[in-house]
Structure 1
Amino acid sequence: MIWTTTPWTLISNTAAAVNADVDYVVAQATDGEHFVIAAALREKVLGEDSRVLETIKGRDLEGTSYKRPFNWVEFPETDAPIHTVLLADFVTTEDGTGIVHEAPAFGAEDLALCRSYGLPVVNPVLPNGTFEAGIPEVAGVFFKTADPRLVELLQESGLLYRHLPYEHSYPHCWRCHTALIYYAQPSWYIRTTAIKDQLIAQNESTNWFPETIKWGRYGDWLNNNVDWALSRNRYWGTPLPIWRCEEGHLTCVGGRHELAEIAGDHTLTIDPHRPFVDDVTFACPECSGLATRVPEVIDCWYDSGAMPFAQWGYPENNKETFEASYPADFICEAIDQTRGWFYTLMAIGTLVFEESSYENVLCLGHILDEDGRKMSKHLGNVLEPIGLMDEHGADALRWFMLVSGSPWQARRVGHGTIAEVVRKTLLTYWNTVAFQSLYARASEWDSSTASLTGLTDLDNWAVSQATRLARDVDLALEQFDTQRAGRFIAEYVDDLSNWYVRRSRRRFWDGDHAALSTLHHCLKVVTQVMAPFTPFITERVWQDLYTTPDTESVHMSVWPTWTDEAISDTLRDQVELTRRLVELGRSARATSGVKTRQPLQRALVAAAGWDSLPEGLQAQIRDEVNVLNLESLSGTAELVDVSLKANFKTLGARFGKSTPAIAAAIAAADAKQLVTDLKSGKAAVVVGGETFEVGPDDVVVTEVPREGWTVASDSGESLALDLALTPELIGQGIARDVTRLIQDARKSSGFDISDRISVVWESSMDVTTDALIAHSAMVSAEVLATSWQQGTVSNATALDDELGLKVLIIKA
């Protein structure tokens, strides 16, 4: 019993195939009919009531003859075993009957198997997909359309045992979805199997990104190399340069000049493509008979593989230019080119020059829509790059494509995802540049005087991190890893804007030379390392801030130099600790409900190495957390009350019935001691004389700050805030609130950052009045007030009802 999923190929049935090592049975169905079928499929196909009469191995069926289902096509006379059982490893017992129909014209495995037995290839299907004239019942019918009629004929002749719908993959045209056909036809070949070892050796010396492709997808292709089917049957194309006479003599022509020597100089002026070149004939060099060109053209992938030398007209022209540029340092294409361009370049290079055409390969992932689907005109989900660039900018699209994932990963592209990367990095970079430009102009700072001397700890950190950025981006791009390089850039741009600039804002207002020099230097490094990613925005920044007669373009500038000695890991670690403590301070503030602008007397810090931080960085913590003093905290025990509860879920999974007793022991334990033990990673409780180890996941620890304190902790580091407020602290808080009120009023009134103002204020509350008198100098300096007067305000610029305050500001 033979099975097939393609009834239309039964007309060309040439043989049947079984697996030599599979058990087959002669079985009797319930209707008494006998069948040969794979033992593993007997019950599935014939039913449980079928009976086994005999068991045989597949190899014993080899050579068994049978009657083909359709006797419509002629087979040439041969001694080969036509219409007999063959042995094939690809036959399985997962589906069907374990005996497979063979039609070598329509399947690669079928063709290889039948050729190994010397069987002929019979093909009644024309190149247009219809059956040729003279085939009964289906002549002129499209091959897939013939299936229903052929099934009917099998049923009528009693040869059909069962017809079942069977879902399986089948190739279709990706544009019109017409069913395609596997179709064996004659071809000219390049014997690439003869250089398999050389190709593998060339691959060994090639750098692949990602490296898994080297001996994965591409390596498998080389290890299973087959000869390259070079010819195609097309109307137009690069001609196969072979002429054949009626005696079958073949003449291969090496170029146009050689053709002119054989056929005449007139051939130098004709279009060398098909069909024009087909008019060229000449006398066969062997027999003088008329030689005409064979009708095939060359696979266009050969053209692509010949590109390294064909582009120069080598070997007839530009010999030195070609030799200086071969092999290429780098090639970049989508991952599906492992069996396309990457292969043809290496194969032709190895055949002609005994050396691959490239040294490094970067495989790009495919572009998907925002839902993860492959883009297709048919699906209507194609995003045109010009439209994306018109809406978001060319640099935004470039940055997204280079940074949103590793180059070899598939990525989802959409307007939302591109807009997000623009907001996160490119706008931050642009705004930081604008900030530098604004305050440099406001203070009339001359960039030619920039110098990296007399820097603060924060300045030194920014410069060191800029040097680290140049190094890390350099090394990442050497490995073709644009995602990692982009991540370094994005992180540094964020650090520069949201930490360095924010923490140095007061210095920029004052026109501080060191701060302006530092930011000028750091932005120059960022601009240079970003230039390959975003060439347009960085060129604009370069023209505005950095152009010189010697370096008019960022793309002509020298890549930032770096040395490991110029990079301070110690300073990096200190700033990271500073920022972690600031975050703990903010968290503690948020928990306490005390607003950030209200100064507090002190913060207690418990963190390894904090007391060795330079004074400049400790000052950053004080300013950010808004406390007057920092002091050491040996631990949080004296500031919080600790309670413990058992995590029944994790304990139950480990201790089962003992869990309630262990939970009671946890609740009764010395909470502070148990927490200390848990922080070391391991603690224990004793129940009935037996010791049970518990971990941090087994215990729920609740810390409640004692009155007057708030505490935040993370990863062994803690910061506690003393919430006690004195009249002096309250006054300072009011002064800061008023400063913010006036700054917002300046902005809403459209004042320039450098504009000086006069301020008249009036308050109905004594506490506000006292604070503004005591801190008038501080507030005036912050808001650039040249005049600060208490008086009557009838037409207020800004109001604060909680402070009972009215303020009038006028440009001085």
Structure 2
Amino acid sequence: MSSLPPALNFAETEEEICKQWKEQDSFRQQDKLAEERGDEEFVFFDGPPFATGLPHYGHILAGTIKDTVTRYAAMTGKRVERRAGWDCHGLPVEQEIDKMLNIKYREQVLEMGIDKYNTTCRSIVSRYTKEWETTVTRLGRWIDFENDYKTMDLPFMESVWWVFSQLWEKDMVYQGFKVMPYSTGCSTVLSNSEASQNYKDVSDPAVVVSFPIVDDDDFKGVSFIAWTTTPWTLPSNLALCVNPKLEYVQLLDKKSGNRYIMGKSRLCQIYPAMNKKKWKPAMAEELYEIEKTMLGAELKGKRYQPLFDYFAGPSEYFQVLTDSYVTDDAGTGVVHQAPAFGEDDFRVCMANGVIHKGDDSFPCPVDAGGLFTNDITIAKGVYVKDADNILIADIKERGRLVQKDSLVHSYPFCWRSETPLIYKTVNSWFVKVEEIRDQMVDHNKNIHWVPGHVGKVRFNNWCKDARDWAISRSRFWGTPLPIWTNEDFTECICIGSIAQLEELTGTKVTDLHREFIDHLEIPSQKNPDGPKLKRVDEVFDCWFESGSMPYAQKHYPFENKESFEKGFPADFIAEGLDQTRGWFYSLMVLSTALFGKQAMNNVIVNGLVLAQDGKKMSKSLKNYPDPTIVINKYGADALRMYLINSPVVRAEELKFKEAGVLGVIKEMFLPLYNAFRFFLQNMERWESETDRKFAPSLEKVRSTTNATDIWISAATQELIKFVHEEMAAYRLYTVLPALVSYVTQLTNWYVRLNRERLKGLEGEGSEAYEKRKQPTGPV
């Protein structure tokens, strides 16, 4: 055995090991041996990352956690299938293409042709997958790229159709109008979880406008005043809302001579001086006079003059409604209602008959790109946020503007296009999640979460308050909804397989993307002479596809039926904290709806890796070191250990520091390497021709009475026991600190205290010394 060099280049050594693994096909040999032995299967689901860029530290962290757990399972006698997966559809891919082709509006895609657009989308997916494979392999992760799954593959898409068809048969799908988070930049609705991902502090105009009361002699010349930070919604106003239990006042504004009705506790909104320390009640006499006091309930049904005259409507329009959602912590206590652009507005107006279920004829003068339609003549073709000043100026000119200010507040932005989100009434297809959320909460109790509070609190609360899931998107690159219908939706057919579609259309189907099936028509099953059924326009939300991954990766139920059912739920999954509202949630919804159980038994949740300054890592800001450079400089193992031995494995944040990776080299790898090198040097010397007969026997070593030998042996056994216990509990954040502590004891104490003894040079009186004094030949 040759001695190790004094210094070791860890990165270069890792590359040599990766090369050997590849030459020997070590990963597949391990799987082959496990299969031949009939090892018990350990089921792992790998959540599909978006294939639209290179791996960042968040991917590296999650991949390292997955690799650590699945390697341990394989090393302890389990057979582990580790298939790579790719999330190929949806906004991430489309946004890349839109930037590449300078596409801003949906009409541009239609003019270009969906076939050409989707072909371009497909090409970008293929471009990144090979680069991912190179990086992930260099990190030392064992994962099967040859047998990977892609959400755009035909078998995967067919299984997604099957999943949806099961929900359809269970009457868990409906089409409805709802106010949803809407990205004008991507021209599509977002899920509630997506809408909560990207809040920013922004300054918006905050205005108070008047609504004169009409047809009421008791309130002649009096106006309601309402406050809003979304002036662009005012042209769509259909009602006002007050809290029935709050106290309201009719006041005379002494400066303008106008009479207003507003919440008594909100006078400070109109008279800011009331918020200052110098304010005294007596000062109110100079500003206003309260003429009447009443409860909000007394105002119900009062009619008012619309702010704009764009929309004439039924008699239910332009009246005061009541609801307890109106609070007195901001504004005037009077809230303007634009049901097309507010969730509570929609609910309140629906409950009071201002709008009606299934009727979408109420005003919604904003197109898919967030531009005002021709209905709003003074702002037609203008982006809604840009129209605020135009509308405010018009309102002021007509004497209806009471107050203008600005407000800095936290506002949601699209996580992909970085455009401000609006809330907009859209026609979507929904899954009835609210019907099964109690079951989801119960199933969550069967999952072992690490750390525990993520499951018991964060995920539990998200499931408990779950709303019906809008699964349709008005986009192009995705799995199409398998619904064929006539124009008035009196006949709808849900397709659950390729064979069923071929049978009903009489056409061979080789691809399920829009360009291959949108033209297919199905004869009416109710009336042979009736109009043919056509597919609805939408595609699936990509979260529906990733939630279908356990079934679709195996092409269930068309193939692998027995193996899937045997291995479901999965033993283990792992992803970041943000997936409590993403992949973890979509898995739970679909597994509960389809099989009445959770999709996973054990979950490790990691936190967010931030830049060293505590900000989100940004390529444009260049506020973090390139992972490839770090790996080539320090090695993948040092990076992996730095990440695993940090708070981020406990779902906390980590401010990434390159110095931390170097610290692993200095504090862990070098001491351990030097200790091993010292051991080899002495082992080689004991095995040399001259010293071999002086080497202690194995029996002698085992029966040592040296206190430090007994101590380090006990520490070793305790470490082994501890690692097995903690790995069984998926607590990676305890394993690495224990290993670091053990290496510190070994190198700083055991080797240091026994250096001379291990060399056999402790001096006169030592066993080694006495043996060395004896003659080796004839005297």
TM score, norm. by length of structure 2: 0.63
Cα separation, 2, equivalents of 1:221 and 1:9: 30
Describe the shift of the 1:43–1:259 C-alpha distance in structure 2 as closer, same or farther (beyond 3 A): closer
For residues 568-717 of structure 1, the aligned pairs below 5 Å read none
Partner of 1:145: 386
Cα separation, 2, equivalents of 1:302 and 1:428: 49
Residues 476 and 485 in structure 1, CA contact (< 8 A), matched pair in contact too: yes
C-alpha offsets along residues 475-513 of structure 1, whole Å, 9 cap, x if unaligned? 22222221211110000100001111100001111189x
C-alpha offsets along residues 134-155 of structure 1, whole Å, 9 cap, x if unaligned? 4221011111111111111111
Partner of 1:467: 717
The amino acid across from 2:670 in the alignment is: L
State the Cα distance separating 1:181 from its structure 2 match. 2.0
SS at match of 1:376: coil
The amino acid across from 2:433 in the alignment is: T
Cα separation, 1, equivalents of 2:713 and 2:625: 41
For residues 80-229 of structure 1, the aligned pairs below 5 Å read 81-120=316-355, 121-174=362-415, 177-229=418-470
Partner of 2:231: 7
State the Cα distance separating 1:447 from its structure 2 match. 11
| Match for residue 727 of structure 2 among 467, 477, 491 | 477
State the Cα distance separating 1:94 from its structure 2 match. 2.1
Residues 269 and 331 in structure 2, CA contact (< 8 A), matched pair in contact too: no
Residues 440 and 511 in structure 1, CA contact (< 8 A), matched pair in contact too: no
C-alpha offsets along residues 284-307 of structure 1, whole Å, 9 cap, x if unaligned? 222233111111111111111111
The question of 1:286 aligning with 2:529 is answered no
SS at match of 1:313: coil
For residues 14-413 of structure 1, the aligned pairs below 5 Å read 14-31=238-255, 32-46=257-271, 48=284, 49-75=287-313, 77=314, 81-120=316-355, 121-174=362-415, 177-246=418-487, 248=489, 249-267=491-509, 269=510, 271-288=511-528, 289-405=531-647, 406-413=649-656
Q: 470-479 or 327-336, which moves further after superposition?
A: 470-479
The amino acid across from 1:355 in the alignment is: K
Partner of 2:10: none
Cα separation, 2, equivalents of 1:137 and 1:375: 42
State the Cα distance separating 1:246 from its structure 2 match. 4.1
State the Cα distance separating 1:129 from its structure 2 match. 1.1
SS at match of 2:590: helix
Cα separation, 1, equivalents of 2:298 and 2:698: 94
The amino acid across from 1:258 in the alignment is: Q
Unmatched 5+ residue regions in structure 1? 513-775, 787-812
The amino acid across from 1:71 in the alignment is: D
Cα separation, 2, equivalents of 1:216 and 1:11: 41
SS at match of 1:183: strand
Cα separation, 1, equivalents of 2:628 and 2:506: 49
SS at match of 1:484: helix
Percent same amino acid among aligned pairs?
35
Cα separation, 2, equivalents of 1:464 and 1:259: 67
The amino acid across from 1:292 in the alignment is: K
SS at match of 1:396: helix
- Flag the structure with larger Rg: 1
Residues 612 and 624 in structure 2, CA contact (< 8 A), matched pair in contact too: no
Cα separation, 1, equivalents of 2:485 and 2:625: 49
Describe the shift of the 1:402–1:94 C-alpha distance in structure 2 as closer, same or farther (beyond 3 A): same
Residues 193 and 225 in structure 1, CA contact (< 8 A), matched pair in contact too: yes
SS at match of 2:421: coil
State the Cα distance separating 1:188 from its structure 2 match. 0.6
Cα separation, 1, equivalents of 2:488 and 2:659: 67
Describe the shift of the 1:511–1:312 C-alpha distance in structure 2 as closer, same or farther (beyond 3 A): farther
SS at match of 1:266: coil
Residues 340 and 346 in structure 2, CA contact (< 8 A), matched pair in contact too: yes
The amino acid across from 1:101 in the alignment is: H
Cα separation, 1, equivalents of 2:322 and 2:666: 64
Describe the shift of the 1:220–1:118 C-alpha distance in structure 2 as closer, same or farther (beyond 3 A): farther
State the Cα distance separating 1:17 from its structure 2 match. 1.7
Cα separation, 2, equivalents of 1:41 and 1:398: 56
Residues 437 and 463 in structure 2, CA contact (< 8 A), matched pair in contact too: yes
State the Cα distance separating 1:14 from its structure 2 match. 1.6
State the Cα distance separating 1:175 from its structure 2 match. 5.8
Cα separation, 2, equivalents of 1:229 and 1:118: 24
State the Cα distance separating 1:174 from its structure 2 match. 4.8
The question of 1:435 aligning with 2:435 is answered no
State the Cα distance separating 1:382 from its structure 2 match. 4.3
Describe the shift of the 1:251–1:205 C-alpha distance in structure 2 as closer, same or farther (beyond 3 A): same
Partner of 1:696: none
Residues 251 and 284 in structure 1, CA contact (< 8 A), matched pair in contact too: no
Residues 41 and 96 in structure 1, CA contact (< 8 A), matched pair in contact too: yes
The amino acid across from 2:429 in the alignment is: W
Describe the shift of the 1:198–1:511 C-alpha distance in structure 2 as closer, same or farther (beyond 3 A): farther
Describe the shift of the 1:511–1:243 C-alpha distance in structure 2 as closer, same or farther (beyond 3 A): farther
Describe the shift of the 1:115–1:380 C-alpha distance in structure 2 as closer, same or farther (beyond 3 A): farther
Residues 612 and 623 in structure 2, CA contact (< 8 A), matched pair in contact too: no
SS at match of 1:238: coil
The amino acid across from 1:276 in the alignment is: F
State the Cα distance separating 1:377 from its structure 2 match. 2.5
Residues 175 and 378 in structure 1, CA contact (< 8 A), matched pair in contact too: no
Residues 483 and 494 in structure 2, CA contact (< 8 A), matched pair in contact too: yes
State the Cα distance separating 1:130 from its structure 2 match. 0.8
SS at match of 1:348: helix
C-alpha offsets along residues 702-729 of structure 1, whole Å, 9 cap, x if unaligned? xxxxxxxxxxxxxxxxxxxxxxxxxxxx
Cα separation, 1, equivalents of 2:714 and 2:436: 52
The amino acid across from 1:197 in the alignment is: D
Q: Could you say what the CA RMSD is over the residues aligned between the two structures, in angstroms?
A: 2.6
The amino acid across from 1:492 in the alignment is: Y
Cα separation, 2, equivalents of 1:216 and 1:53: 50
Residues 107 and 183 in structure 1, CA contact (< 8 A), matched pair in contact too: yes
Cα separation, 1, equivalents of 2:696 and 2:324: 77
The amino acid across from 1:9 in the alignment is: T
Describe the shift of the 1:419–1:226 C-alpha distance in structure 2 as closer, same or farther (beyond 3 A): same
SS at match of 2:422: coil
Cα separation, 2, equivalents of 1:442 and 1:3: 87
State the Cα distance separating 1:170 from its structure 2 match. 2.1
For residues 413-812 of structure 1, the aligned pairs below 5 Å read 413-444=656-687, 449=698, 451-510=701-760
Cα separation, 1, equivalents of 2:697 and 2:571: 39
Residues 704 and 710 in structure 2, CA contact (< 8 A), matched pair in contact too: no
C-alpha offsets along residues 206-239 of structure 1, whole Å, 9 cap, x if unaligned? 2222222223221221221211111111112101
Residues 246 and 290 in structure 1, CA contact (< 8 A), matched pair in contact too: no
Describe the shift of the 1:199–1:170 C-alpha distance in structure 2 as closer, same or farther (beyond 3 A): same
